[in-house]
Amino acid sequence: MPERPEGAILGVDVGGTKLAAGHVVGREVAASVERPTPLSSARDLIECLEGVVGDLEKQAGPPVAIGIGIPSQIEFATGRVISSVNIPLAGIDLRHELTDHFGVPVFVDNDANCAALAEAQFVSDPPARHLVMLTLGTGVGGGVVIDGLIYRGATGLGAELGHVVVQADGPECPGTCPNHGCLEALCSGTALGRDALELAKAKPDSRLGRALAKEGKVSGRHVVEYAREGDEESLGLLEQLGTWLGVGISNMINVFEPEYVVVGGGLCAAAELFMGVAEREARSRALPALSDRVRLEVATAGPAAGIVGAGLLATHMLALADSGESNRDTHDLIANRGVQ
């Protein structure tokens, strides 16, 4: 982990329901503030973000830098939000706007990238220098850490691991993705709910079928609940999810040769129902020399991962600027704000 600079490092995790900020010390959150995320407009959200950081400053003191993770595609060098599905920030030059407001360097990145950076500090033998993280929730996100730093691609839009194809003729991918058979189309909470509905309609006498008839809907939560009670159809759906996840993980192992592949997100509350299948599938498909060296783990950083990762992002970028390894845009930004 880079040496922590003098002064408070603040991390902000912008989610679809809540906005959380914390004073990050190492891999811990020393103080935090939360507010509901306003989704009415970009201006309301930015003002809320400014207010949360302002409240946190009263506890942590003036920051030396701020890291922010948001569920969007970010052009990292400029901090511009290119695409944002669930929060109203598309087209906003968020880094520059917030840097002007706070008077210290602000770094903006995808939230899954930040989570990967955090999880690299929480693996069984930390820190991980080479790590791939997949987050299974409503969709599938991901982040890649190479030699201790986030890998983003040419402009910051890369490492969209949820859109790795594992079944060429599989289901359509949700959202704006034009592809079929992506991890997101097969391993997300949305995909599990879709598969549950299809099974319930095809087998009305099954437990899922009876739930559909009674409640008018079924979801991934039904699948997990029934699987834990031994329902064969529900167990089969989670085994199927684990199989496709394992195919995806084998691709990550072969491409990146990570020390760790970490799986997190809301679905991992039920990890015991599919991670064993996923690991067996991944190891059976990955190249043996690589498979033998990688560890597969469930994320352990917990709810604070986004805050911690955003704080680590800011710490890393300041350290890179001090070493002269950052890009010119970032280095000039820090120099212009008087941060040494």
Task: Specify whether 102 is located in the same domain as 156.
Answer: no
Alpha carbon 258 to chain centroid, angstroms:
17
pLDDT: which is higher, 174 or 101: 101
Specify if 2 maps to a domain. no
Task: Specify whether 137 is located in the same domain as 271.
Answer: yes
Query: String of b and e for 266-302 (b: at least 16 CB within 10 Å)?
Result: ebbebbebbbebbbebbbebbeeebbeebebbebebe
Specify if 3 maps to a domain. no
Domain residues for the domain of 103 are 8-116+303-336
Backbone phi and psi for residue 339, each to the nearest 5 degrees, phi listed first: -90, 125
Task: Specify whether 294 is located in the same domain as 191.
Answer: yes
Return d(Cα 35, Cα 22) in angstroms, integer: 12
Lowest mean pLDDT among 9-13, 21-25, 123-127, 302-306: 302-306
Task: Specify whether 239 is located in the same domain as 107.
Answer: no
Return d(Cα 68, Cα 179) in angstroms, integer: 29
Task: Specify whether 152 is located in the same domain as 285.
Answer: yes
Instruction: Dump pLDDT digits (tens) for 68-102.
Output: 999 899 999 999 999 887 789 999 999 999 999 99
Cα angle, residue 283 at apex, residues 295 and 248 outer, rounded to 5° = 90
Q: Which of 49, 52, 51, 140 shows the shortest CA–CA distance to 95?
A: 49
Our count of domains for the chain comes to 2
Would the pLDDT of 338 be above 70? no
Eight-class DSSP state of 270 = G
Task: Specify whether 173 is located in the same domain as 289.
Answer: yes
Specify if 197 maps to a domain. yes
Task: Specify whether 111 is located in the same domain as 155.
Answer: no
Instruction: Dump pLDDT digits (tens) for 272-325.
Output: 999 999 999 999 999 999 999 999 999 999 888 999 999 999 999 998 887 766
Sequence length of the chain is: 340
pLDDT above 90 covers a percentage of the chain that reads 82
